[in-house]
């Protein structure tokens, strides 16, 4: 028997699967219940505000890995060239700045300035070094599996500031919950035999609040060559509504690289066929006064030539304050924005051949 018939059969099955699955995909959404569960878990006091280099951040990393495992993702980082890991350890060093010069004089302000530290760290400088982890998991694609769509968010936050826990529900438990929940959605589709053509990398970075350091380490030390990244969809703060949209809360700011029009079109197409919320391009410029594009992890992907787009709700009075709590998140709009990212990822992961 030759394989012509087999090939015909495979093609037919593929076409049948596509015919049934494609219209269905646009009605797939990211469940409110899942997002709510993750946001409350990540903002629990036991995580202590998830500051990079603390036990709270490590606990958050463990929580994310547990969720990735439950979604049957594959490990991506190598350990001893044999075993896979969901963790990518890296080191940061800090120097304490005690006086800050401003235009009006010198302020007696103490803060720590962080940078990536070379590893392994020597014994004698370890007092000014902290260890941290990025977390990532992989869902292997079908015929285009060498091409990778990166869905990312940072999971760290500020920890304790002036004796108060900063839970960071919007910043960025909302984005982290989105990535974890989108992974679950992809997993449930995969278990029904519906898989994307490209591979999906779900990446959660620490070190963002210290200066986008986790994602910078990642792009410089990626286990998958960065050239294989088809695009980065980065989610940072997607659970609140800013003043501008208080009367029409179904929106999302989109900010992409100057050459990333294809990605803009894709988000727009994904939006039209699914949640149909307002896409706000007010800050979609490298010269925008808010400088949003430079202020989250997509910037590091952009610097490596990866098409990148940033999904965000903008800012609100609880930004970087102890009042950024889980009960203030709007879970309906969070679900719509997470669904928008899922739908965009699906289109990006299934290019027309």
Segment holding 62, helix H or strand E: helix 55-70
Residue nearest to Zn ion (CB): 171
Least distance CB 50 / Zn ion (angstroms): 11
Segment holding 58, helix H or strand E: helix 55-70
Least distance CB 52 / Zn ion (angstroms): 12
Which is it for the CA torsion 276, 281, 286, 288, positive or negative? Answer: negative
Compare residues 230 and 238 and give the one whose CB is closer to Zn ion: 238
Least distance CB 135 / Zn ion (angstroms): 18
CA distance 37 to 294: 30
Least distance CB 310 / Zn ion (angstroms): 13
CA distance 155 to 325: 15
For the segment 55-84, give every residue that binds Zn ion (CB under 5 A): none
- For the chain, helix (H) and strand (E) counts, in that order, are 8, 15
Least distance CB 37 / Zn ion (angstroms): 22
For the segment 159-188, give every residue that binds Zn ion (CB under 5 A): 171
Compare residues 49 and 257 and give the one whose CB is closer to Zn ion: 49
Least distance CB 313 / Zn ion (angstroms): 12
Residue 27, CB-side half-sphere exposure with 13 Å CA sphere = 5
DSSP strand E in the chain: where? 77-79, 83-85, 87-97, 100-102, 105-107, 111-117, 129-139, 144-154, 159-161, 164-166, 198-205, 229-235, 251-256, 278-280, 308-312
CA distance 166 to 239: 16
Least distance CB 209 / Zn ion (angstroms): 5
Compare residues 229 and 301 and give the one whose CB is closer to Zn ion: 301
Tell me the number of residues near Zn ion by CB under 5 A: 1
3-class SS shares of the chain: helix, strand, coil, % to 5:
40, 25, 35
Is residue 27 a contact partner of residue 151, using CB atoms and an 8 Å limit?
no
Compare residues 147 and 171 and give the one whose CB is closer to Zn ion: 171
CA distance 351 to 353: 6
Least distance CB 269 / Zn ion (angstroms): 30
Site string for Zn ion, 206-225 (x = CB under 5 A): --------------------
Compare residues 114 and 342 and give the one whose CB is closer to Zn ion: 114
Compare residues 133 and 166 and give the one whose CB is closer to Zn ion: 166
Q: Does 297 bind Zn ion (CB under 5 A)?
A: no
Compare residues 166 and 264 and give the one whose CB is closer to Zn ion: 166
Three-state secondary-structure class, residue 115: strand
CB environment 87-107: b (16+ within 10 A), e (fewer): bbebbbbbeeeeeeeeeeeee
Compare residues 197 and 319 and give the one whose CB is closer to Zn ion: 319
- Rule CB under 5 A: which residues touch Zn ion? 171
């Amino acid at each position: 028997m030759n394989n012509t018939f087999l090939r015909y059969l495979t093609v037919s099955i593929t076409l049948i699967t596509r015919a049934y699955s494609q219209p269905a995909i646009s009605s797939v959404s990211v469940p409110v219940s899942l997002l709510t569960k993750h946001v409350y878990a990540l903002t629990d006091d036991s995580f202590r505000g998830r500051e990079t280099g603390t036990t709270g951040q490590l606990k958050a990393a463990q929580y994310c890995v547990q969720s990735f495992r439950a979604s049957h993702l594959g490990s991506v980082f190598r350990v001893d060239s044999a075993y896979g890991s969901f963790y990518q350890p890296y080191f940061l060093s800090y120097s304490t700045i005690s006086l800050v010069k401003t235009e009006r004089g010198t302020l007696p302000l103490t803060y720590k300035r962080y940078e990536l530290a070379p590893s392994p760290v020597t014994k004698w400088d370890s007092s000014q070094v902290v260890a941290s982890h990025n977390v990532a998991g992989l869902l292997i694609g079908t015929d285009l599996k060498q091409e990778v769509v990166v869905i990312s968010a940072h999971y760290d936050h500020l920890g304790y500031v002036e004796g108060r826990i900063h839970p960071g529900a919007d910043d960025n438990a909302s984005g982290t919950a989105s990535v974890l929940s989108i992974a679950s959605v992809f997993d449930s589709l995969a278990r029904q035999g519906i898989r994307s053509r490209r591979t999906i990398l779900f990446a959660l970075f620490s070190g963002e609040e210290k200066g986008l350091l986790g994602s910078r380490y990642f792009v410089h030390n990626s286990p998958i060559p960065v050239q294989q990244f088809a695009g980065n969809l980065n989610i940072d703060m997607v659970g609140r509504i800013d003043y501008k949209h208080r009367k029409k809360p179904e929106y999302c700011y989109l900010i992409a690289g100057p050459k990333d029009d294809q990605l803009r079109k894709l988000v727009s197409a994904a939006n039209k066929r699914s949640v149909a919320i307002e896409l706000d391009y007010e800050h979609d410029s490298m010269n925008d006064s808010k400088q949003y594009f430079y202020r989250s992890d997509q910037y590091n992907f952009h610097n490596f030539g990866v098409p990148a787009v940033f999904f965000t709700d903008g800012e609100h009075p609880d930004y970087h304050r102890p009042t950024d709590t889980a009960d203030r998140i709007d879970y309906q709009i969070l679900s719509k924005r997470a669904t928008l990212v899922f739908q965009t990822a699906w289109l990006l992961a299934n290019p027309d051949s």
